[in-house]
Amino acid sequence: MTVPSLASSLSDSVTAAAARLGMADLAPQIRRSEHADFQADGLLAAARTLRRNPRQVAADVVAGLPDDGLLASAGVAGPGFVNIELTDRALLAQLASRLGDVRLGIGMPESGVTTVIDYSQPNIAKEMHVGHLRSTIIGDALVRILEHLGGTVVRRNHIGDWGTQFGMLIQYQVEHPDPPAPDDTGAMGRLATLYRRARGEFDTDSTFADRARRRVVALQAGDPSTVAAWRDIVAESTRYFTHVYDRLGVRLTDADTVGESAYNAALPEVADDLERRGVAVTSDGALCVFFDDLRGPDGEPTPLIVRKRDGGFGYAATDLAALRQRVVELHADRLLYVVDVRQALHFRMVFDTARRAGWLPSTVAAVHVAFGTVLGPDGRPFKTRAGDTVRLVDLLTEAVDRAREVVAAKNPGLTGSALDERAQQVGIGAVKYADLATNRTRDYVYDPQRMLALVGNTGVYLQYAHARVRSILAHADGADATVDVTAALEPAERALILDLDAFADTLAEVVAGHEPHRLCGYLYRLAQTFTAFYEHCPVLRATGPQRANRLALCHLTGDTLRTGLHLLGIPTPTHL
Ligand code: ARG
């Protein structure tokens, strides 16, 4: 069941009143306001277009608002805003409707829409780092939200499982049959060592480099033993990635992994098709796509290279093949790519090429969901002191260790596996929340201490807020929480109802801009509004309808916080 928000009902009323006054396309902005429950903006501009006095237009709209039991009062303010107060009864009825629906009245606005989302995308035989964390976490949140709204989501973990580096790795293994010992860090420790040694030999021994190049040719030609060695390396890495996803509580499985190599067979045809349609042309031996508005610093056009001079295909061709397959075979209505902002030009060129080739109809949206860089304490891209990339698994271990201290300090009685479990929930939640809470296009500083602060915009703060609501409800011991719409409301109760009512609209905004941070900001404000409510309005000590209504408010707050945090992939333990 969809419960329209009070803001959207008001928007409909204002739009209808304005239409009766001859303002047909008015899209009023209904905002929360300090001066009233809501303020309607947008009439000023409309009055200007009509060459009418804005205050008069606002007064006419007010006079035309329906008497539907929603409005307590409406009046003109300032140069032509409309201030609107709602009745207590309307607010309480809204609380009852949301509480009466298992899905909190959110509805299924995404039903019938298929989204193919490309995220995580680590590279075989290399460690996962903070960049992969961002893609994985943002992607996972978007998947959960789209699915919760009734959408069909196809996940694509576009792992880097193809390229010339495999020649080097396989050749090194063949020549050194004693594999490097796995270190205590698990499977990727072994492969990373192998990678480092192979690279060292490749760079210093030209005869090895030649043998490695021949090995690439053998791999591309499908030589059985070379292909088998490649498969083993991919499988070993994939097991490791799965282990990291499990730790993170991210819903990515082997079935979602369709790496770059999966598109190899389609590449020649992709190139031919682009050439036949005149989208790609041969330039200097390479098959290229040119763009009118893309030129390098030297003024020369910057092409997208589909096929290299040596006949090989690269990253761009693979993405074009993948895109075509996602539209044609997976019937995507929306394509999302959660990838570092530094690849913005690449995706612009890929999308533009696909549009020109007719593979991406105007009905299908293609979006590069770009994200910024994770910075170290020095404000520069996060690296170890030695200048190496920081391993994601080490960051997770550190966060969980710190979380264990925070949790233990609060709960001296908690020990053993119960403490471990709680530390895991709080530590991983903190890492995810810190990543999701910043506008994704911005860089942010990775600060394990700040992300575990008990106050402020952190995952732990919200987990505590949720646990506190649950504990209040536990003390009420199942007491009646049936909403009585005839009771009068305190200002703090009204504020809380209005915040709770904005949950579904917030999710719609998150989807519209692919911006999980809006959900974080919403939940943080909700937790603060709840705190103010709890300070001003005793719940357990109240009596009669007031007590029931306040318990209903606690219920809806708890459910909204829990649902919201789960949509961000953050666990909500009942006790903390
Ligand atoms: N594996 C690539 C990297 O680590 C990212 C792949 C992004 N996805 C894509 N479809 N190109 O940089």
Residues 6+ apart with CB under 8 A from 498: 6, 32, 37, 91
Residue 561 to residue 520: CA distance in whole angstroms: 10
Same-domain pairing of 437 and 561 = yes
Q: Ligand 1: distance of its center to the CA of 331 in Å?
A: 22
For 304, which DSSP code? E
The number of domains in the chain is 3
Same-domain pairing of 438 and 554 = yes
Least confident piece of the model among 453-457, 552-556, 562-566: 453-457
Q: Which atom of ligand 1 is found nearest the CA of 156?
A: 10
What does the angle CA 197 – CA 202 – CA 204 come to, to the nearest 5 degrees?
95
Judge whether 219 lies within some domain. yes
The pLDDT tens digits for 241-274 are 999 999 999 989 999 999 999 999 999 999 999 9
Same-domain pairing of 64 and 168 = no
Residue 204 to residue 541: CA distance in whole angstroms: 77
Last residue of a domain, one of 68, 86, 104: 86
Q: Which of 116, 120, 121 best tests ligand 1's pocket when mutated (most atoms within 8 Å of CB)?
A: 121
The stretch 417-433 carries a mean pLDDT of 97
Residues 6+ apart with CB under 8 A from 541: none
> What kind and span of H or E run contains 66?
none
Q: Ligand 1: distance of its center to the CA of 339 in Å?
A: 7
Residue 161 to residue 125: CA distance in whole angstroms: 9
Q: Which of 119, 134, 335, 343 best tests ligand 1's pocket when mutated (most atoms within 8 Å of CB)?
A: 343
- Backbone CA torsion sign across 203, 204, 208, 209: positive
For 571, which DSSP code? -
How far is the CA of 284 from the CAs of 235, 281, 301, 316, 570, in angstroms? 38, 10, 13, 18, 52
The stretch 156-182 carries a mean pLDDT of 90
Which pLDDT value is given to residue 299?
82
Question: Packing angle between helix 224-248 and helix 392-410, nearest 10 degrees?
Answer: 20
Q: 446: domain range?
A: 423-567
Same-domain pairing of 46 and 171 = no
HSE-CB for 469 with a 13 A CA cutoff = 28
Residues 6+ apart with CB under 8 A from 61: 14, 17, 18, 21, 40, 43, 82
Name the residue with the closest Cα to ligand 1, atom 5: 121
Same-domain pairing of 428 and 558 = yes
Instruction: Give the residue carrying structure tokens 């495999």.
Output: 166
Amino acid identity of 549?
N
Q: Ligand 1: distance of its center to the CA of 437 in Å?
A: 23
Judge whether 229 lies within some domain. yes
Judge whether 72 lies within some domain. yes
**Spatial CA neighbour of 462 closest among 472, 477, 473, 451:** 451
Name the residue with the closest Cα to ligand 1, atom 4: 122
Residue 185 has pLDDT above 90, yes or no: no
What confidence tier does 292 reach under pLDDT thresholds 50, 70, 90?
confident
Judge whether 496 lies within some domain. yes
Residue 70 sits in a domain of what CATH number?
3.30.1360.70
Judge whether 509 lies within some domain. yes
Average pLDDT value for the chain: 94
293 three-class SS: coil
Q: Ligand 1: distance of its center to the CA of 132 in Å?
A: 9
Residues 6+ apart with CB under 8 A from 147: 153
Strand 281-283 to strand 114-118: parallel, antiparallel, or no bridges (unpaired)? unpaired
Residue 184 has pLDDT above 60, yes or no: no
Same-domain pairing of 72 and 201 = no
The pLDDT tens digits for 111-127 are 999 999 999 999 998 88
Same-domain pairing of 48 and 182 = no
Q: Ligand 1: distance of its center to the CA of 318 in Å?
A: 10
The stretch 59-81 carries a mean pLDDT of 91
- In terms of phi and psi (left: phi > 0; alpha: psi -120 to 50; beta: otherwise), the region of 174 is alpha
395's tokens: 């960051």
Is 71 within 8 Å of 6 (Cβ atoms)? no
Q: Which atom of ligand 1 is found nearest the CA of 160?
A: 1
Same-domain pairing of 563 and 427 = yes
What is the share, in percent, of the chain residues with pLDDT greater than 70?
A: 99
What confidence tier does 80 reach under pLDDT thresholds 50, 70, 90?
confident
- Contact residues of ligand 1, CB 6 A cut-off: 118, 121, 123, 158, 160, 319, 337, 339
The stretch 316-341 carries a mean pLDDT of 98
Same-domain pairing of 553 and 434 = yes
Same-domain pairing of 57 and 182 = no
Q: Which of 119, 154, 258, 339 best tests ligand 1's pocket when mutated (most atoms within 8 Å of CB)?
A: 339
Judge whether 237 lies within some domain. yes
Last residue of a domain, one of 86, 103, 138: 86
Q: What residues does 29 pair with on adjacent strands?
A: 41
Which pLDDT value is given to residue 46?
80
What is the b/e burial string over 54-93, where b = at least 16 CB atoms within 10 angstroms of the residue's CB? bbebbbbbbeebeeeebbeebebeeebbbbbebbbbbbbb
User: Burial level of 456, CB count in 10 A (0-12/13-18/19+)?
Assistant: exposed
User: Burial level of 474, CB count in 10 A (0-12/13-18/19+)?
Assistant: exposed
Structure ipTM: 0.98
Which pLDDT value is given to residue 182?
62
Residue 290 has pLDDT above 90, yes or no: yes
Same-domain pairing of 465 and 559 = yes
Q: Ligand 1: distance of its center to the CA of 252 in Å?
A: 16
Please provide the distance, in angstroms rounded to a whole number, between the alpha carbons at the two ends of the chain: 33
Judge whether 287 lies within some domain. no
Residue 358 to residue 336: CA distance in whole angstroms: 18
Last residue of a domain, one of 186, 219, 252: 252
Same-domain pairing of 443 and 557 = yes
Residue 179 to residue 190: CA distance in whole angstroms: 8
Q: Ligand 1: distance of its center to the CA of 280 in Å?
A: 23
Q: Ligand 1: distance of its center to the CA of 333 in Å?
A: 21
Amino acid identity of 365?
A
What does the angle CA 429 – CA 430 – CA 432 come to, to the nearest 5 degrees?
65
Which pLDDT value is given to residue 47?
80
Residue 548 sits in a domain of what CATH number?
1.10.730.10
Residue 417 has pLDDT above 90, yes or no: yes
Judge whether 189 lies within some domain. yes
